[in-house]
Structure 1
Amino acid sequence: MKIPKMCLMCGISAILCLKRQGKDLESLYSLSPEIRDFWEKIRRKFIIKPSVKVYISDSHVLSYNIARDIGCTSVYLFDAHADLGYGGLASLNFELNCANWLGKLLKDEIVKKASIIYSPYTAEKPQDFKGINAAYNVEYITWESIPEGIEVAAIHICRSGAWTPPWYDAKFLKFVRDSGLSNLEFIDFMLRKWDIRNISLSQQINYMLA
């Protein structure tokens, strides 16, 4: 968990520095255009019944419990991070966390296969997980190579608040609604109110850490 912690510290420094320079933090971020047709592309590949349960949370670690409790045999992950465990096979001996949940699903033989569809903005490479790739059934695929007709047992949409600026929370909820699904359950999810005119710098930092 040292890498995310270091990144968060960099984020705090950036807020303080930009504040002193009078710069607008929000202008440094933009949403990927992929969100516009994400659900349309999903429905071309996956069969999603209206009754399918959709879980919304801040942490991806919940995916482990969802897959275990529902009895999933495979996972399709759309993310900039593989969450297979950072540090080789030894990282799967650590306690369950947001960085190793997918690797632990494989290690604990809860799922048989993990398919990872990376964001175009990822800094990771499949070879970063050489040991885990050799030990378990992990594939790195593109949208085009996803087979059609995959029946979905559950969907987990994770905000990852430490990586997602709070001023995008409303658009995140719109993204959830755009799925067209109604069987939603929010777990440990807090909507962050970003109003820099009425909150202090310390509150801004806390929101960035939420």
Structure 2
Amino acid sequence: MEKSLLSIDWDYFIKIRPEWCGSYIENERCLVDIWYKRYIEENIRGINLEKEIYINTNTKRFWNFIKERFNLKKDIEVFISDSHKFSYKIAKDNKCDNIILFDAHSDLGYGGLSSLEFELNCANWLGKLFKDNIINKSTIIYSPYTMEQPNDFSELNSKYNIEYVMNRWDIEYEQFKNSEISAIHICRSGAWSPPWLDKKFYEFIRNSELKVRKLEDITRDWNPKKLTFSDEINYLIG
């Protein structure tokens, strides 16, 4: 039976502003500081980002949908991280043939085939799984909030077996009837998902009612009410 990794990016459920959809290094500045900067800038304009940026209500029925439509391995583990790059190792360790990806980004690599020559990162892990002959196909189920199109990856599409699903998620996936989900990876992608939604992220994980293994520390300090005027200046100019 074919083995699949179900890889879920938390940003799948979040509509963020187009100007925030850049390429970021996953460090403290991009995971925390940049969100304080955005929050303070918008607060000056009279906009409360904590009320403006929220999660899609599909999170409430997502796990029922997954369990109804996919064949989950008995005692399956859910791996948790901030970075999506861990999907590479999880797929390799579990000898997966296929990746089923729920995401706002393809993570195939953003420079054609040449981007697969870079070191493993959150933006190219899926492409590198193909390049290293670890998987032979993938289905990318795009978020309704994605800024991408399948033809953005024409060079990779011509070489690898990649299917895209646009603007729908709660459908029957007949092609996976004979596929076993061997592992599940949920990443937070903190550079693209705001810290005030972290509690919802943990709630989403708990709602899976599955065994969870954390791969890295994902705690973030978010408390804008504690900021001093000096803190705000530092974030704005930092």
Short-chain TM bin:
0.7 to 0.9
Amino acid corresponding to residue 214 of structure 2 in structure 1:
F
Measure the CA separation in 2 of the matches of 1:98 and 1:202: 29
Aligned to 1:169: 198
Measure the CA separation in 1 of the matches of 2:208 and 2:41: 38
Aligned to 1:156: 185
Amino acid corresponding to residue 81 of structure 1 in structure 2:
H
- Say yes or no: does 1:195 pair with 2:223: yes
Task: Evaluate the alpha carbon distance shift between residue 173 and residue 117 of structure 1 in structure 2; reply closer, same or farther with a 3 A threshold.
Answer: same
Match of 1:179 among 208, 212, 215: 208
Report how far residue 53 of structure 1 moved.
1.3
Measure the CA separation in 1 of the matches of 2:58 and 2:117: 35
Q: State whether residues 50 and 181 of structure 1, in contact with CA within 8 Å, keep that contact through their aligned partners in structure 2.
A: no
Report how far residue 127 of structure 1 moved.
0.2
- Say yes or no: does 1:107 pair with 2:131: yes
With a CA cutoff of 8 Å and minimum separation of 6, indicate the structure with the bigger relative contact order: 2
User: Which contiguous aligned blocks of 4+ residues in structure 1 show a shift greater than 6 angstroms?
Assistant: none
Measure the CA separation in 2 of the matches of 1:17 and 1:89: 38
Task: Evaluate the alpha carbon distance shift between residue 17 and residue 199 of structure 1 in structure 2; reply closer, same or farther with a 3 A threshold.
Answer: closer
Greater CA drift, 188-197 or 162-171: 188-197
Question: What are the equivalent positions in structure 2 for 1:41-60 lying under 5 Å apart?
Answer: 41-60=65-84
Aligned to 1:208: none
Measure the CA separation in 2 of the matches of 1:187 and 1:122: 26
Task: Evaluate the alpha carbon distance shift between residue 186 and residue 204 of structure 1 in structure 2; reply closer, same or farther with a 3 A threshold.
Answer: farther
Q: How high is the TM-score relative to the length of structure 1?
A: 0.86
Report how far residue 11 of structure 1 moved.
5.7
Structure 1: state its 5+ residue gaps.
206-210
Report how far residue 52 of structure 1 moved.
0.6
Q: State whether residues 150 and 164 of structure 2, in contact with CA within 8 Å, keep that contact through their aligned partners in structure 1.
A: yes
Q: How high is the TM-score relative to the length of structure 2?
A: 0.77
Aligned to 1:23: 47
Q: How many residue pairs are counted as aligned between the two chains?
A: 203
Report how far residue 22 of structure 1 moved.
4.4
Report how far residue 203 of structure 1 moved.
11
What percentage of aligned pairs have identical amino acids? 45
Match of 1:92 among 95, 116, 126: 116
Aligned to 1:118: 142
